[in-house]
Amino acid sequence: MQQRNEASSEITPATIDASAPGITIATDVSSELEPTMVSDAFSRLVQRVHTDQGLLLRPLRLVLLTGQLNDAVIRWESALGLPEAGVSKQPEGIPGAKTMSWGSDEESARSIIILADAIAAALARDHPLGVPAVAHELGHVHDEYMRGLRLGFPKSHIPPGVDDWPRVRSLLATIAWSEYAAESVASPYMTADSLRESMLNDTVHLAGVHRRLRQFIWSYKRREHDLISLWSGALTSTSNLFANLGRAIARLPFSKHAPEAIAALLEPSGEAAGWKPAIQCLLHEFQTLGSMPYAEWPVGPFETLEEGIELGFQAVGLFPSYDGKLHVNVP
C-alpha cells in the first residue's frame, strides 16, 4: 500500500483515473497525521472485511486524511464537477468520513475515501469508534461498485433538481439503501455498547427530524416561508433521515441485547408514530434485497423502496405528486 504526505491539490480526479489498482494513503495540508500512522491498521481492516464479507474494493484508489473534512469534500466535489454541498450538518451529529465514487463502466470505476483525522487516529488505535466507521466507508465502495456492475454505472452523479420528484424519490431510495448496505458491513465490528447507544440515538434522530419538519410546516402555514423554501428544507432533512433509517435497520440483526431500542424504532410512538408504515416498507425491502446477490437483483430494484419514501413524506404531512410538474399538497 502506497503512502505519501502531500497537498491534496496535487491529487486530482485525473491522477486517480490514471492510477493502477492499489490504494494510496495520503494527507492534505490540514491533517496532523502521517500516512504511516494509519497504513498498517487500514491494511488489516481491508484484509479483514475481505475475508469476513468478500468485499470487492478494486475501484478504491485513495484514502485522504484531513483535518477539515467539509472543506476537503467540497474541494473534491468541485474537482468532479458536482455541486459543492460538503457534508451534512445536523443537530444529531456530523459525519467523520465521505466516500466519493465515479466512472462509467467496470474499468473506469474509481472511489476515494476522505477520512477525518479523528476517525483515522481511532482506527490506528483499534478504537471501537474507528474500525466500524472505516468499515462503513469500505462498504460504500463495494456497494457502489456492485450496483454499477448490476444496474449500470450512472452517467452523472449530479443530483436532480428539487422539482423533479420522480428522480428525487429515486435518489432518496438509493441513499437509504446505500447507507443500509454500508452499515451492514460495519455493524459486525461494533461493540455491544456502541450498538446500544446507536440504536437509542436512532429513535431520538427520528423524533428530532420529524419535530423540526412539523415546525417548518407550521411556519409555512403561518406564511413565514414560501413553498419552495419548505420543500427544499424538507428534502435536506428527509435525505438525512432516510440515510439514518438505512443505518438503523442494518444494525437490527446485531442488536439482540437492546430489545427496547429495536421496538422503539419499529414501533415509533408519539408525534413520529406515523412513520411506522414507511419504516416497515424499508425494513422489508432492505431485507429482501440484502438477502440476494447483486447479480440476481430484479430490474428496478428500488421501486418499492420509493413507495416507502413517499410514505415518509406523508408521515410529516407533505403529499408530493408529479404530472411533468411538481405539486406539493400541505393539508
- Domain-located, residue 98: yes
Q: Grid coordinates in use for 230?
A: 419548505
Using the predicted structure, report yes or no on whether residue 91 has a pLDDT greater than 70.
no
- Res. 9 pLDDT band, cuts 50 70 90: low
Average pLDDT over residues 248-272: 81
Output the pTM of the full model.
0.94
Q: Residues 175, 109: one domain? A: no
- Domain-located, residue 157: no
Q: Residues 175, 299: one domain? A: yes
> What is the Cα–Cα distance from 159 to 139, expressed in whole angstroms?
22
Average pLDDT over residues 114-119: 96
Q: Residues 135, 171: one domain? A: no
Q: Residues 86, 116: one domain? A: yes
- Angle of CA points 119, 55, 182, to nearest 5°: 50
- Domain-located, residue 124: yes
Pairing of strands 319-322, 326-329: antiparallel
Q: Contact at 8 Å (CB) between 50 and 61?
A: no
Q: Residues 178, 322: one domain? A: yes
- Domain-located, residue 159: no
- Res. 42 pLDDT band, cuts 50 70 90: very high
pLDDT score recorded for residue 7:
47
Q: Residues 208, 143: one domain? A: no
Model confidence pLDDT, tens digit, residues 137-189: 999 999 999 999 999 998 888 889 999 999 999 999 999 999 999 999 999 99
Q: Grid coordinates in use for 130?
A: 474507528
Lowest mean pLDDT among 5-14, 113-122, 198-207, 279-288: 5-14
Identify the domain boundary among 91, 123, 151.
151
Model confidence pLDDT, tens digit, residues 186-227: 999 999 888 888 888 898 899 999 999 999 999 999 999 899
Helix axes 303-316, 227-251, angle to 10 degrees: 120
Q: Which structural domain range is residue 292 located in?
A: 165-329
pLDDT score recorded for residue 213:
95
| Residue in the block written with cell 468478500 | 54
Q: Residues 144, 171: one domain? A: no
- Domain-located, residue 160: no
**Radius of gyration of the chain measured on its C-alpha atoms:** 20
Q: Contact at 8 Å (CB) between 322 and 165?
A: yes
pLDDT score recorded for residue 86:
86
pLDDT score recorded for residue 115:
97
Identify the domain boundary among 124, 151, 178.
151
- Domain-located, residue 158: no
Using the predicted structure, report yes or no on whether residue 258 has a pLDDT greater than 70.
no
Q: Residues 106, 214: one domain? A: no
- Domain-located, residue 257: yes
Pairing of strands 110-116, 97-102: antiparallel
Q: How many CB atoms lie within 10 A of CB 162?
A: 14
pLDDT score recorded for residue 173:
98
Residue type for position 54:
G
Helix axes 259-266, 192-221, angle to 10 degrees: 30
Q: Residues 43, 92: one domain? A: yes
- Domain-located, residue 156: no
Q: Residues 35, 99: one domain? A: yes
Identify the domain boundary among 151, 181, 196.
151
Number of domains in the chain: 2
102 DSSP β-pair partners? 110
Average pLDDT over residues 43-50: 95
Q: Residues 91, 170: one domain? A: no
pLDDT score recorded for residue 51:
95
Q: Residues 52, 199: one domain? A: no
H-helix segments, the chain: 13-17, 36-53, 69-79, 117-124, 130-151, 165-186, 192-221, 227-251, 259-266, 276-290, 303-316
